[in-house]
Amino acid sequence: MAETNGINMLDVKKKNRGSILRLIYQNGSISRKEIATALGLTPAAITLITNDLIEEGLLEESSYESSNVGRKGRKEILLEIRGKKFAAIGVYISKHKFRIMCMDLKNTILFEDTVLTADCYYDSSKILAKLCQSVTNLLADDKILHGRTLLGMGVCVNGIVKSRQGISVKSYGIWEENVQVIAYLEEALQIPIILTNNICALAHGEAFLSRREYLDNMLFIKYGPGVGAARLNYRHTTHDFDYKAIELGHLIVEPDGLACICGNHGCLETIASYSSIERSISEAFSKENTPILYELLDGNPEKFTIEALVEAYEQNDPPIVKALEKVIRYLSLAIKNSICILEPSSVILYGELFESARFREVLNQNLKLFSVSERVSFSHFNLELETIGPAYTIINRFFELGGHLL
């Protein structure tokens, strides 16, 4: 079999096909000339590969654009993915619920649902059985896929994940340890499955939807209900992304602090997680001490929500301000330390509390004190990536395989 510098020529072709498909997908439509320039391939190679992809039904020629704007010139044919021909499923598993979504490659949502799992808490077999039932119902409805080819299902879950083995090693309260997620789902559903850490899946969605240059060597931080992060590296040679989950929430910030579910003491999550915030506020909760929050919750602390917390914070309820600004101080410190250790080119923040203008402003003030605010920004797709992210892991694998099914 022909090889060049030890690299199998079939692998080269597959990588080139994948790079072309991914580039077209992320741009919506693009000319062959632009593809050649972006990927550093010859026009002849681009023509050969794209013609194959058209014949295989993966690409189609669409509108024309002038190659010489403002004067007469040759019109370039634009290429785009035949997005309505394919679909992918994304699943986001968290405590007490999972969210499921099916989308085509035009980013059209075909189906989405949220399924509660409080009745099967900490039992992986019950949770996965519910998930399988939801997917089975989805696939049985011809109106959803409507002739589309299903590429597979991307699943993400909190905590430590061995993606290659398909194992959820430690989910921090969702289910037991060392759950064989892929083995269970592939046997039950007979479709390709990819398992990732939830933060990696969100970072994947951010990368796929964004065209910002600073995605290279990016640190993606999700806040709420705990704190997690993923580091992303962008490989320019293949237009591909590589991710590594980082347990940022278990960075020790108070050595003599409270016990954490991970077994250590003083982790960031013992201060910043939603449950920790709720616990600290409940100690001061009263009509006299927290009048605004008290009114928002009708005097019932069991009605606590993050939305009510943010409202009380923005209305300047003193104990709430004190509690959240302690959170901001320690979160800023964790971001600063992460930048010092990992040296990311940028940090992107994602989560419910970043919807609060006051929270963002105070956080930025703290980051300026550490001289790192210029590297930190907020996701352009905040609160939109939970199911899109894992769906993109399947789409990306499809591209990595050169447009061949898993």
In a domain, 258, yes or no: yes
In a domain, 405, yes or no: no
CB atoms within 10 A of CB 302: 6
**Contact (Cβ atoms closer than 8 angstroms) between residue 156 and residue 198:** yes
- H-run or E-run covering 136: helix 124-140
Strand order in the sheet with 179-180: 160-162, 167-170, 179-180
**Contact (Cβ atoms closer than 8 angstroms) between residue 384 and residue 103:** no
Q: What is the per-residue DSSP string for 141-165?
A: -HHHHTTPEEEEEEEEESSEEETTT
Question: What is the 3 state secondary structure string of 278-337?
Answer: HHHHHCCCCCCCCHHHHHHCCCCHHHCCHHHHHHHHHCCCHHHHHHHHHHHHHHHHHHHH
In a domain, 92, yes or no: yes
Handedness of CA 259, 264, 269, 271 (dihedral sign): positive
Give yes or no for a cis peptide into 192 (omega within 30° of 0). Answer: no
- How is residue 192 annotated by DSSP? -
d(CA 19, CA 240): 8
Across 104-131, average pLDDT: 95
Same domain, 117 and 148: yes
Range of the domain at 334: 227-378
330: pLDDT strictly greater than 90: yes
2: pLDDT strictly greater than 60: no
Same domain, 196 and 239: no
Q: Please report the pLDDT score of residue 133 as a whole number.
A: 97
Q: Which of 32, 48, 81 is the last residue of a domain?
A: 81
Q: Please report the pLDDT score of residue 72 as a whole number.
A: 53
258-295 pLDDT per residue, tens: 999 888 999 999 999 999 999 999 989 999 999 999 99
Same domain, 282 and 140: no
Helix (H, G, I), strand (E, B) or coil at 36: helix
- The residue ranking higher by pLDDT, 76 or 67, is 76
Same domain, 232 and 374: yes
Helix (H, G, I), strand (E, B) or coil at 182: helix
- The CATH code of the domain that includes 29 is 1.10.10.10
Same domain, 280 and 314: yes
71: pLDDT strictly greater than 70: no
Q: Please report the pLDDT score of residue 208 as a whole number.
A: 82
Same domain, 139 and 53: no
Q: Please report the pLDDT score of residue 86 as a whole number.
A: 96
Same domain, 370 and 353: yes
49: pLDDT strictly greater than 50: yes
In a domain, 214, yes or no: no
- The CATH code of the domain that includes 241 is 3.30.420.40
Q: What average pLDDT is seen over the chain?
A: 90
241: pLDDT strictly greater than 70: no
Q: Which of 81, 105, 140 is the last residue of a domain?
A: 81
In a domain, 217, yes or no: no
Phi then psi for residue 288, to 5 deg, are -85, -45
Same domain, 39 and 107: no
In a domain, 222, yes or no: no
d(CA 238, CA 232): 14
239: pLDDT strictly greater than 50: no
Q: Which of 81, 114, 139 is the last residue of a domain?
A: 81
**Contact (Cβ atoms closer than 8 angstroms) between residue 17 and residue 62:** no
289-319 pLDDT per residue, tens: 999 999 999 999 999 999 999 999 999 999 9
Same domain, 178 and 111: yes
d(CA 62, CA 405): 24
Q: Please report the pLDDT score of residue 352 as a whole number.
A: 95
Question: Distance between the two ends of the chain, CA-based, in angstroms?
Answer: 23
In a domain, 213, yes or no: no
131-181 pLDDT per residue, tens: 999 999 988 988 888 889 999 999 999 989 999 999 999 998 899 999 999
- The residue ranking higher by pLDDT, 6 or 386, is 386
Same domain, 92 and 203: yes
**Contact (Cβ atoms closer than 8 angstroms) between residue 179 and residue 193:** no
Same domain, 243 and 303: yes
Number of separate domains in the chain:
3
Same domain, 178 and 240: no
Q: Which two tokens stand for residue 299?
A: 């005097």
Q: Please report the pLDDT score of residue 234 as a whole number.
A: 62
d(CA 262, CA 124): 19
